[in-house]
Structure 1
Amino acid sequence: METTKTISIEKEPENRVWCCAWGLIMPEQNDNSSEDDELTVAKLRPKEFVITGGIKPQLSIVHISPSEENKFPHEYSHQLPGLGIHNVALSPDSSCIAAVSLDGNLMLLSFEGGVRLPRVSHSQVSNVWSTAFGRTNDCVYAGSGSGHIYKYDTSVGKLQHNYDTHRCENVLGLAISGDQRLVGATDYAGNFTLLDGATGQILRRRNYKKPMRRLVYDPCMRHALAACDDKTIKLIDLPSGRLRESLAGHDAYVMSVAASPDGLRFVSGASDGSIKVWDVRTTKSSLSFVCATNSNLWDVAFNKLSNKISFVGDGKGLNIYYCLGNREMMLV
């Protein structure tokens, strides 16, 4: 019998948290150290943290299992201009945060220092809905309300490329391949669009009739995963862009989906608080549970070590589970 436990980071009851992303701080290697005690081992452990954004104009950063050696406090926040944050992405080295505000603004922040570029856009951008990084730190992508996807450099925010999906819809889901050759987008009208990252040419498009709210690529680039309002997760083959399977199991809108970095599992979350962890090999749900602490679930994420998941929503905000294989989930 599967068992589940949860730990919740307490928030105000009226708090609404809309997005989350995991980061990892790698330790500095000291070749001159010959110590082999617990203190040295602790210093060499990677430091995990979760970034969340919601109704308040700020980003919260929560360190998981902080220690005395951690130079950051357990939880702190960066105040932002404008309105609340509904979409967030983190660069591969966890140094740069891209955040999308409710007023359609894309901001870039330093992990340690806070807001670095308060507005990354140009006059042709109507509003930004989503953001994503590839596997490099020097550029960031933004999906707009006009069906365009913009690529900016992260140093000064200069526009590098403008991709047109030819669908004037809000780009809710955005995924970039590691080599930046495949740019994927899903929108509110249910369109999945796959573009060539070098030329901007549309390689594949299909309409699934219902809004598609999140899009991620499998780390091995075998397929894309899309969270859909028809209560399914679309499994789409790459690079062909053809539908492989429509995975049913949720009884409400699927709000978010995330793949584990090791490529073995993915997690999906629906608006009714139901969460499912899926096995990539079988495309079957290996774990399933309902979070009773959140009245509306908005986002889910896998950590960089592939052994924890987080999800956010209305109510108690951030929730974290520890994945123990395919048998159970327990508190961090």
Structure 2
Amino acid sequence: LEGHSGSVQSVALSYDGSHIVSGSVDRSVRIWDVNTGMNLQTLEGHTGAVMSVAFSTDGSRIVSGSENGTISIWDANSGRTLKTLKGHTEAVQSVAFSNDGLYIASGSRDQTVRIWDAGTGVSLQTLQGHRNWVRSAAFSYDGSHLVSGSDDGHICIWDAKTGENLLTLEGYRDWFMSVAFSNDGSHIISGSDKTICIWDAGSGEKLQTLEGHSSYVRSVAFSNDGYHIVSGSFDQTICVWDANPGVNLHTSPGHKDSVNSVAYSNDGLYIVSGSCDHTVCIWDAKTGVCLQTLEGHTGDVLSVAFSIDGSRIVSGSRDKTVHIWDAKTGVTLCILEGHSDEVNSVAFSKDGSHIVSGSVDRTICIWNANTGVKLRTLEGHTAYVLSVSFSSDSSHIVSGSYDDTVRIWDAITGVNLHTLEGHQDWVQSVAFSNDGSCIVSGSDDQTVHIWDAKTGVNLQTLTGHKDRVLSVAFSSDDSYIVSGSVDNTICIWDAKTGVNSQT
């Protein structure tokens, strides 16, 4: 959708999915038809950049927040300004209607949250307590509570009627660098400041803290049966853990630089790791013994994965190549050359016949996993490709990029089926749901988006993180999404409703 003359700061979908509203630095708000892409209305009146936009639940009104501290309420059909709300003394970062449409919440750089009467425009409450910019504000479903997130590292829960601060949730000390669900979706593991934590995915309770690494944990993964965990760290070691009761079974030195990526084979017998020492190592998951050290890359190994049958390993490197290895002998089967810059992400298709790779050169390559022949080069992204993944039936590929977009591709023809726009910053992580119907994406804009994989429509925009979202994944039954952020939190979301069930 083209029309804005400045960067787009905020987008929102109407409740029925028929319209999109966008706000821009060009000071305008635009309404778009989802099916045709036609610009139906251009709403002008703000004298500063538009930072945030939202529809009322019935789709009849739009609210927008501006850099100059004002909020406008618009008639979505006529484009007429209904009210201009004044009270904030700095830029309005977030606006939202209550579900019944009677109230509006706003969060501002003036460190306050305000509640407004959506009919009269009167400021009913000014909620004070944050000590830095308020990035996000939202009503509970029944409108009785309000939640706000701030650059002060805190989440506040407020009584929407009285304005009382009911609860302040404080963040963790350090970044979460890796998160993953157990195969049955019951547990989550996270890697952070030298520790691995195991969490109950239902209650959000931290069950175990696994200590043993002497530096940051870069990558974590569950075995398929959920009984074991592997972690890779900047301390150059691999650790294998008993998930219950959290015992360190063995610590395996061997790499000579930080470990960037770890993965289990499907049968849980082997582990593969990729390191900044330019090598790939295969480990016996039971004993921790290094069975093979695969040498051949001339740059940091950024991504590794097993084929489903465990017979092969694929690795992507800063040396611009993708390598396919025999997992038993360690022999290099193929060196895939075609990217002109470092390879950030690699994955096998489920049947093992194809490999997809995403690169800093802005392209995605599809390769024949048996011959190493490059079948397709997918072009369209205008910046680095950070994450790639196959759908479970291998018919589609999803990619996330520095160009702020998510793209869906036909894996056979290479055709770009949809370009999903809505993120306002780099897309760090993408994944298909296991049934292939949805896509989840996490971005530096602090949001998680859920998309319809067939139509490309944004089904949900999940807000709550206060900093970059680095990792996203579906649970095995597709009922939950987990996201990990630089704000030191892991959020668990209901994949159907978008409700943040735990932080």
Cα separation, partners in 2 of 1:49 and 1:120, compared to 1, 3 Å: same
Match of 2:183 among 21, 24, 33: 24
2:494 corresponds to which residue?
Answer: 323
Residue 152 of structure 1 aligns with which residue?
325
Deviates more, 1:216-225 or 1:102-111: 102-111
Cα distance in 1 between the residues matched to 2:415 and 2:263:
26
Alignment of structure 1 residues 41-56 onto 2, 5 Å: 47=226, 53=232, 55-56=234-235
Cα 1:55/1:92, change in 2 over 3 Å: same
Describe the SS at the equivalent of 2:341.
coil
Query: What is the match of residue 363 of structure 2?
Result: 191
Q: Aligned residue for 2:415?
A: 242
Of stretches 184-193 and 280-289 in structure 1, the one that deviates more from structure 2 is 280-289
In the TM superposition, residue 131 of structure 1 has moved relative to its aligned partner by 1.5
Q: Which secondary structure state, in structure 1, belongs to the residue aligned with residue 347 of structure 2? A: strand
Worse-matched range after superposition: 206-215 or 225-234: 206-215
CA contact (8 A) 1:22 1:303 kept: yes
Residue 273 (structure 2) aligns with: 99
CA RMSD of aligned residues (A): 3.4
Asked if 1:307 is matched to 2:479, the reply is yes
Are the equivalent residues in 1 in contact too, given 2:240–2:288 (CA < 8 A)?
no
Question: How big is the shift at 1:112?
Answer: 4.7
1:153-302, aligned counterparts within 5 Å? 153-165=326-338, 167-207=339-379, 208-292=381-465, 295-302=467-474
Distance apart, 1:72 and its partner CA: 2.9
Partner of 1:116: 290
Of 298-307 and 88-97, the range deviating more from structure 2: 88-97
Distance of 2:442 and 2:472 partners within structure 1: 6
CA, structure 1 residues 297+327, in 2 after alignment: closer, same or farther (shift >3 Å)? closer
Q: Which has the larger radius of gyration?
A: 2
Q: What stretches of structure 1 of length at least 5 have no aligned partner?
A: 26-45, 63-69
Conserved? CA contact 1:23–1:90, under 8 Å: no
Quickly say closer, same or farther: Cα 1:321–1:256, change in 2 above 3 A. same
Structure 1 residue matching 2:428: 3-state secondary structure: strand
CA contact (8 A) 2:320 2:341 kept: yes
Deviation, 1:281, is 3.4
**Distance (Å, rounded) in 1 between the aligned partners of 2:262 and 2:140:** 31
**What TM-score does the superposition give when structure 2 sets the normalisation length?**
0.52
Letter in 2 for 1:323: D
The SS at the match of 1:24 is coil
Deviation at 1:289, TM superposition (A): 1.9
State the 1:89 CA deviation. 3.3
- Measure, in 2, the Cα distance between the counterparts of 1:240 and 1:214: 20
Q: CA deviation at 1:110?
A: 4.5
Alignment CA distance shift 1:88-1:320 (3 Å):
farther
Q: Distance in 1 between matches of 2:270 and 2:359?
A: 25
Match of 1:129 among 302, 310, 315: 302
CA distance in 2, matches of 1:146, 1:84: 17
Q: 1:13 aligns with which of 157, 173, 181?
A: 173
Q: TM-score, normalization: structure 1?
A: 0.75
CA–CA separation in structure 2 for the residues paired with 1:119 and 1:99: 10
Give the aligned partner of residue 84 of structure 1.
258
8 Å CA contact 1:20, 1:52 repeated in 2: no
Tell me the alpha carbon deviations over residues 149-183 of structure 1, each in whole angstroms, 9 at most, x when there is no partner: 11112234222222222x33111121211232222
**Which residue pairs with 2:42 in the alignment?**
none
2:197 equivalent in structure 1: none
Cα 1:269–1:154 change in 2 (3 A) is same
Distance 1:23 1:109 in 2: 21
Q: Aligned AA for 2:373?
A: Q
Letter in structure 2 aligned against 1:179: D
